[in-house]
Homo-oligomer: A and B are copies of this chain.
Amino acid sequence: MEAMPYSRPALIALLRRHGIAPTHQRLEIAQVLFARCQHLSAEQILAQVNERHAETSKATVYNTLKLFCERGLVREVIVDPKRVFYDPNTSPHHHMYNIDSGEITDIPAESLSLNAMPELPEGMVTEGVDIIVRVRTPDAVGQGRLG
């Protein structure tokens, strides 16, 4: 795992190390992702990046997140059919998803593992194993839908 890259120079170094040219927009997006290590959707990142004054377009946010994924800076988390979340933590771990609040939290890799890997069909290769623990707040059963 990378050292905590809060400062501009550290973020620039981080992008460069991944073969990414450090433009202003990419640094803003990296800032948002790595400052607090949360799971954010593209639209949340767009909003946070443009909080003070508009400076990054929707297209660039999507382009950049795709690039960050390809270069292994972030990873996609697919738990909610409505949107993809982006995870700045690329080390192996799993997720707990609160279906009432939409909150995603990490489960350390050590605290949960499979007792067997499935045999793959001829010529297939594992890309990754996602484990998602879906949880609920029983109080919130009937209504409490958030997004």
Contacts and interface: CB of A to CB of B under 8 A. Distances in A.
A135 interface: yes
B129 A132 contact: yes
Q: Is the interface of A mostly helix, strand, loop or mixed?
A: strand
B123 A138 contact: yes
With most chain B CB atoms within 10 A of its CB, the pick from A99, A107, A132, A135 is A135
Contacts of A81: 76, 78, 81, 83-84
Contacts of A111: 116, 118
Given A111-B118, A112-B116, A123-B137, 8 more contacts: A81-B81, A81-B84, A107-B118, A112-B118, A113-B114, A115-B115, A129-B133, A131-B131
